[in-house]
Amino acid sequence: MSTAERVVFEQASKRYPGTGAGNPGAVEDLSLEVPAGKICVLVGPSGCGKTTSLKMVNRLIEPTSGRILIGDTDVARRDVIELRRSIGYVIQQVGLFPHQTVGENVATVPRLLGWEPARRRARAEELLDLVGLDPSRYAARYPAALSGGERQRVGVARAIAADPPVLLMDEPFGAVDPIVRERLQNELLRLQENLAKTIIFVTHDIDEAIKMGDLVAVMQVGGHLAQFGPPDEILSNPASDFVARFVGADRGLKRLSLSRVADLELRRPAAVRLGADAAVARRALEGDPPRYVLLLDEADRPLGWVAEGAIPGDGALLDEELAVPASPLLDSRTTLKDALSMLLDADVQVGLVVDRKGALQGMVTADSIAEFMRDGSRASDQERRATPAAAPRGEAAP
């Protein structure tokens, strides 16, 4: 059971006295709407006001002007303590209470809300399970006995304990090493598939922003919103020089990591089944530039390529000896970035896409990736996150 509510910034500003516009942490006229159930990443260099913007939502910082709505209610009209109990909050240093056990930490907001101890304990165990920590091993420990990654998991569990509609995350994975960070990012995306909370996520890392965000808000020093949109739009159409510089010269490559093989329209290579007549293979190559035919086994699993010159005379049967296994195998979940990288590494610049059983679905070439990027036609973020669309199945080999 989960609920989510939209979060709207309406010309929210935070000015600090003394200095003019452009002072660190200030926010200028921020207007954006995060639809319910989406992850919005605020990203920008330090001092751009992204953390200030985040803290205006749970009123750790009060805006100088403008307002912020959760659902349809101005947060300034709500009781600040009650407001904060209804918003999950995760910070970089985690801020677990050292004098409380992991179980008590997770049950913080339920305790503040006055839940019965038995219900609190059950909820804490459920959440520890959810974030991948065995309650029987972890619930009674103190935070000092946890690793950085484990602490951050407990921090996330604490934030969602009372099922808040909105989650604020301030550089939540900034203090852990890259391997743990990637794992935590993937776990959060997996959790979000079921939780569907409205998440506002602050980071200074553009790669993290692109990976985590349904929507990305790029901010620049002075607290100006430089661009707001889906990650692909930020990468393919930077709104200003600042955004282009911030996302980096390799934004083309970054876009590759946003799309998966499933987003491509797959082409069928010329293919024949093991044991087919050589004449069939020769016909398959007719009128086609490729000088190779793909040999499949009886379950459509690719065995390798047979060069045109190596096809024996008509009447002979094709066997495995003739095939050269040289293509990388991809599946529909492979990102285009990984796919391209594998193609560049391989002897043959054709990637074969197979399903879970290893049966051929189609092929990917560097050209087809380039063409896809040029057209910019890709599934929306939403579809990317959900299960991949069924890849077009080629007609069965004769």
Partner 1 sequence: MIDTAWLAGHLDAILFRTVQHLYLTAITVAVGFAISFGLAVWAVRRRNAYGPIVAVTGLLYTIPSLALFPLFIPVTGLTDLTAVIPLVLYSLLIFVRNIVAGLDAVPRDVLEAADGTGYSPGTRFWRVEVPLALPLIVAGIRLAAVSTIGLVTITGILGDRFGGLGFFIFEGRRHDFFTTEILVGGLASILLAVVVDLVLVRLQRRLTPWATARSVASPTSATA
CA distance 281 to 295: 9
Other Cβ atoms closer than 10 A to 75: 21
Looking at beta carbons only, is 168 or 216 nearer to partner 1? Answer: 168
Q: CA nearest 258: which of 240, 241, 233?
A: 233
> Which residues bind to partner 1, rule: CB under 8 A?
58, 60, 81-87, 89, 91-100, 108-109, 112, 142, 144, 158-159, 168
Looking at beta carbons only, is 34 or 83 nearer to partner 1? Answer: 83
Q: Tell me the closest approach of the beta carbon of residue 95 to partner 1, in angstroms.
A: 3
Q: Tell me the closest approach of the beta carbon of residue 222 to partner 1, in angstroms.
A: 25
DSSP, res 371: H
Output the six-digit token pair for 355: 């399903």
Q: Which residues lie closer than 8 Å to 185 by C-beta, 6 or more apart?
A: 173, 208, 211, 212
What type of residue sits at position 233? Answer: E
Looking at beta carbons only, is 176 or 266 nearer to partner 1? Answer: 176
Looking at beta carbons only, is 38 or 85 nearer to partner 1? Answer: 85
Looking at beta carbons only, is 144 or 179 nearer to partner 1? Answer: 144
- For the chain, helix (H) and strand (E) counts, in that order, are 16, 16
Looking at beta carbons only, is 92 or 220 nearer to partner 1? Answer: 92
Q: How far apart are the first and last CA of the chain?
A: 50
Q: Tell me the closest approach of the beta carbon of residue 93 to partner 1, in angstroms.
A: 4
CA distance 173 to 336: 25
CA distance 249 to 227: 17
Q: Tell me the closest approach of the beta carbon of residue 102 to partner 1, in angstroms.
A: 11
Burial class (CB in 10 A: 0-12, 13-18, 19+), 24: middle
Q: CA nearest 129: which of 120, 119, 139?
A: 139
Looking at beta carbons only, is 61 or 274 nearer to partner 1? Answer: 61
Q: Tell me the closest approach of the beta carbon of residue 58 to partner 1, in angstroms.
A: 6
